[in-house]
């Protein structure tokens, strides 16, 4: 888990400014005991600053430390200071009339208190409820390139389990696995980030991972967290051994990893044997994430095959930026499946459209996207969760699963529930 120095300094500064502002508001209030309240607030704020200092000082990249405790402590801290910040915003708005010599709008202080309480409740609802309640998104995709024997083929996509977030608690993953198996998929694909920092996080979950079942098996790729880049290893050999253990655990669970490789899925109908190509790249990351993915290595050019051949092709690539910057420009891969964004663990449905702060960082942050034929990306957003939607694969398309786990803070807010995506392929 990264806590860069500028972010740490900013967090301390904003916390102190918010507390000084609220302390002053309490002192200027009309309560008879305002001095007592302000003194109590000052003491509690000072203790919270010490709490933040402890969080910052705790090891986050050591082999022995782990990130589990830091995540929970930081979440508790922010669940207090985000509501404080909301109060300050409304209170400051109430002071705008003072600039023009008018009286302060003190009623906005009460709005600020209500908003702060709502924010606090929303965060803890996201901790206690949203992060443990899975959403199943159903999507039907039509293509005239799809071989006839694959008409009705069902693919379940899952992504970003980040199992280290759960410590040793296995209840969520067990329920998640049972939900997937109940869908009776033909194929299960996992699009990266099975851990937060290191392979040891998988120990409590190894048996459950092996319970995932599909007719054509479980395929997986690596995400940026899977390489061990967030741990200070004693040697390059130790880091490499960590990654090899991660690969072995997935292999022992019956999963097949596609590390810059491809495979074919076969179906027979009417005496004819058809196939679709399943391609997997390692993590294709923009800085500061490592650049391991190689599309040409995953699907090499030969006399029969190339990135623009007539085979129906599905690509597993962890980072959706790979599709935006490379895949759609140099191939005719029909469908790419990604994760990585988590919708920044916060999304909200407003007037039939889904919004997330992830949109400020990623052009393709969640849901279905396609190229419109003239190089522009068409955003269909997240499907209506109440009913499956039908989309056409006339051009290179992408689906971004918003993941099942968390990183940095163990909560999911609004409609950003853990996601299981069910994709049904139809012959157009």
In the chain, the percentage of residues whose pLDDT exceeds 70 is 95
Residues 207 and 355 in one domain: yes
Residues 72 and 159 in one domain: no
Q: 6: buried, middle or exposed (CB in 10 Å: 19+, 13-18, 0-12)? A: exposed
Distance CA 340, CA 385 (A): 20
Mean pLDDT, residues 93-121? 94
Instruction: Specify the range with the lowest mean pLDDT, choosing from 150-159, 217-226, 246-255, 268-277.
Output: 268-277
Adjacent-strand bridge partners of 280? 261, 316
Instruction: Reply yes or no on whether the pLDDT at 266 is more than 70.
Output: yes
Residue 249's nearest CA partner among 190, 186, 167, 295 is 190
Per-chain mean pLDDT for the chain = 91
- Structural domains counted in the chain: 2
Rg of the chain, C-alpha, whole Å: 24
Give the pLDDT confidence score for residue 217 in this predicted structure.
97
* Backbone φ, ψ for residue 347 (5° rounding): -150, 155
Mean pLDDT, residues 381-405? 80
Residues 182 and 209 in one domain: yes
3-state secondary structure of 422: strand
Distance set, CA 42 to CA 38, 50, 377 (Å): 6, 13, 51
Residues 70 and 143 in one domain: no
| 422 CB neighbour count, 10 Å cutoff | 17
Give the pLDDT confidence score for residue 354 in this predicted structure.
87
Domain end, chosen from 128, 148, 177, is at 128
Mean pLDDT, residues 149-169? 96
Convert 236-249 to b/e letters by CB count within 10 Å (16 or more is b). eeebeebeeebbeb
Instruction: Reply yes or no on whether the pLDDT at 384 is more than 70.
Output: no
- Cβ contacts of 68 within 8 Å, gap of 6 or more: 164, 165, 167
- Cβ contacts of 110 within 8 Å, gap of 6 or more: none
Residues 175 and 77 in one domain: no
Give the pLDDT confidence score for residue 336 in this predicted structure.
98
Instruction: Reply yes or no on whether the pLDDT at 425 is more than 70.
Output: yes
* Cβ atoms of 42 and 18 closer than 8 Å: no
Domain end, chosen from 75, 107, 128, is at 128
Q: How confident is the model at residue 115 (pLDDT cuts 50, 70, 90)?
A: very high
Residues 106 and 158 in one domain: no
Residues 394 and 309 in one domain: yes
Task: Label the pairing between strands 397-400 and 367-371.
Answer: antiparallel
Instruction: Reply yes or no on whether the pLDDT at 147 is more than 90.
Output: yes
Mean pLDDT, residues 216-244? 95
Residues 403 and 329 in one domain: yes
Say which residue, 318 or 268, is predicted with more confidence. Answer: 318
Say which residue, 4 or 255, is predicted with more confidence. Answer: 255
- Here the CATH number for the domain that contains residue 190 is 3.60.21
Domain end, chosen from 64, 93, 128, is at 128
Residue 407's nearest CA partner among 325, 322, 326, 289 is 289
Residues 141 and 120 in one domain: no
Instruction: Reply yes or no on whether the pLDDT at 386 is more than 50.
Output: no
Give the pLDDT confidence score for residue 58 in this predicted structure.
79
pLDDT digits (tens, 9 = 90+) for 332-352: 999 999 999 999 999 998 887
Residues 151 and 13 in one domain: no
Give the pLDDT confidence score for residue 83 in this predicted structure.
97
Query: Which 8-state DSSP code applies to residue 157?
Result: E
Instruction: List the domain range (segments joined by +) for residue 100.
Output: 5-128
Residues 246 and 368 in one domain: yes
Distance CA 408, CA 389 (A): 33
Instruction: Reply yes or no on whether the pLDDT at 264 is more than 60.
Output: yes
Instruction: Reply yes or no on whether the pLDDT at 382 is more than 80.
Output: no
pLDDT digits (tens, 9 = 90+) for 20-49: 999 999 988 777 788 888 999 999 999 999
Helix axes 68-93, 5-27, angle to 10 degrees: 50
Encoded tokens for 258: 């596609």
Query: Which 8-state DSSP code applies to residue 284?
Result: B
Residues 111 and 191 in one domain: no
Distance CA 265, CA 274 (A): 8
C-alpha angle 406-72-2 in degrees, rounded to nearest 5 = 65
Residue 161's nearest CA partner among 79, 218, 236 is 218
* Cβ atoms of 249 and 199 closer than 8 Å: yes
Encoded tokens for 51: 């709490």
Distance set, CA 242 to CA 15, 59, 257, 286 (Å): 38, 19, 16, 23
Instruction: Specify the range with the lowest mean pLDDT, choosing from 120-129, 210-219, 287-296.
Output: 287-296
| 231 CB neighbour count, 10 Å cutoff | 19
pLDDT digits (tens, 9 = 90+) for 407-420: 988 999 999 999 99
């Amino acid at each position: 888990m990264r806590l860069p120095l500028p972010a740490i300094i900013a967090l301390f500064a904003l916390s102190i400014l918010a507390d000084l502002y609220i302390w002053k508001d309490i002192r200027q209030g009309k309560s008879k005991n305002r001095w007592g309240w302000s003194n109590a607030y000052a003491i509690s704020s000072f203790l919270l600053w010490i709490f933040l200092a402890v969080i910052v000082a705790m090891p986050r990249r050591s082999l022995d430390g782990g990130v589990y405790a830091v995540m929970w402590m930081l979440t508790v801290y922010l669940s207090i200071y985000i509501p404080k910040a909301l109060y300050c915003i409304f209170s400051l708005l109430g002071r705008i009339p003072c600039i023009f010599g008018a009286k302060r709008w003190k009623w906005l202080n009460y709005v600020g208190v209500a908003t702060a309480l709502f924010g606090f409740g929303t965060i803890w609802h996201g901790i206690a409820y949203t992060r443990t309640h899975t959403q199943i998104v159903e999507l039907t995709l039509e293509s005239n390139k799809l071989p006839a024997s694959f008409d009705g083929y069902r693919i379940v996509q899952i992504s970003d389990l980040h199992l280290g977030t759960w410590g040793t608690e296995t209840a969520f993953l067990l329920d998640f696995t049972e939900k997937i198996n109940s869908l009776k998929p033909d194929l299960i694909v996992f699009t990266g980030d099975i851990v937060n920092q290191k392979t040891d996080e998988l120990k409590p979950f190894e048996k459950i991972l092996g319970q995932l079942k599909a007719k054509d098996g479980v395929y997986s790729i690596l995400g940026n967290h899977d390489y061990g880049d967030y741990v200070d290893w004693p040697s390059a050999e130790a880091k490499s051994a960590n990654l090899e253990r991660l690969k072995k655990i997935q292999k022992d669970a019956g999963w097949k990893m596609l590390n810059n490789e491809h495979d074919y899925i076969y179906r027979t109908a009417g005496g004819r044997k058809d196939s679709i190509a399943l391609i997997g790249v390692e993590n294709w990351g923009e800085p500061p994430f490592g650049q391991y993915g190689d599309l040409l290595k995953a699907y090499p050019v030969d006399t029969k095959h190339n990135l623009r051949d007539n085979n129906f092709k599905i690509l597993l690539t962890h980072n959706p930026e790979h599709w935006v910057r490379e895949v759609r420009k140099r191939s005719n891969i029909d469908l790419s499946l990604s994760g990585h964004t988590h919708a920044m663990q916060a999304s909200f449905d407003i007037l039939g459209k889904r919004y997330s702060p992830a949109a400020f960082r990623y052009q393709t942050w969640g849901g279905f996207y396609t190229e419109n034929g003239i190089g522009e990306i068409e955003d269909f957003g997240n499907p209506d969760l109440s009913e499956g939607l039908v989309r056409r694969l006339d051009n290179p398309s992408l689906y971004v699963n918003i993941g099942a786990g968390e990183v940095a803070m163990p909560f999911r807010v609004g409609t950003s529930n853990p996601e299981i995506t069910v994709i049904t392929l139809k012959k157009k």
